[in-house]
């Protein structure tokens, strides 16, 4: 039996710009992703933006983005998204410190 389209697991490479560093963006992303069962990572970029790779259903990914966007002081001016191949065997969602 084919998996329903809305339950299909996808992976997105996301790039956020705006007021996204120093405002709890990564902390909120980690909390929200782990709460909904999405996997991947988030990191601050040297240019002031934030990058994220997130894997889950469309609903899980949307829930994480909405949770971050509702954060105090977070102002997402631009969101760039690209679908990339899923990562096999990945567990959890975490903040990365590397660039």
Catalytically annotated residues: 26, 44
Pairs from 79-84 (Cβ < 8 Å, separation ≥ 24): 79/14, 79/15, 79/16, 80/14, 80/15, 81/12, 81/13, 81/14, 81/15, 82/12, 82/13, 82/14, 83/10, 83/11, 83/12, 83/13, 84/11, 84/12, 84/13, 84/53
Q: Is residue 93 part of a domain?
A: no
Range of the domain at 24: 9-86
Q: What is the pTM of this model?
A: 0.90
Count of the separate structural domains present in the chain: 1
Please report which confidence band the pLDDT of residue 13 belongs to, taking 50, 70 and 90 as the band edges: very high
Q: Tens of pLDDT along 41-98?
A: 999 999 999 999 999 999 999 999 999 999 889 999 999 999 999 999 999 999 998 6
User: Could you tell me the CATH number of the domain that includes residue 27?
Assistant: 3.30.70.100
């Amino acid at each position: 039996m084919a998996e329903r389209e809305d339950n299909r697991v996808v992976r997105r490479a996301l790039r956020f710009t705006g007021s996204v560093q120093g405002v709890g963006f990564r902390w909120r992303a980690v909390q929200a992703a782990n709460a909904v069962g999405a996997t991947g990572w988030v990191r601050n970029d040297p240019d002031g933006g934030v990058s994220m790779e997130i894997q889950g259903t469309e609903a899980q990914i949307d829930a994480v983005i909405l949770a971050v966007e509702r954060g105090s002081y977070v102002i997402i001016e631009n969101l760039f998204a690209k679908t990339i191949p899923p990562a096999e065997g990945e567990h959890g969602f975490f903040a990365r410190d590397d660039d």
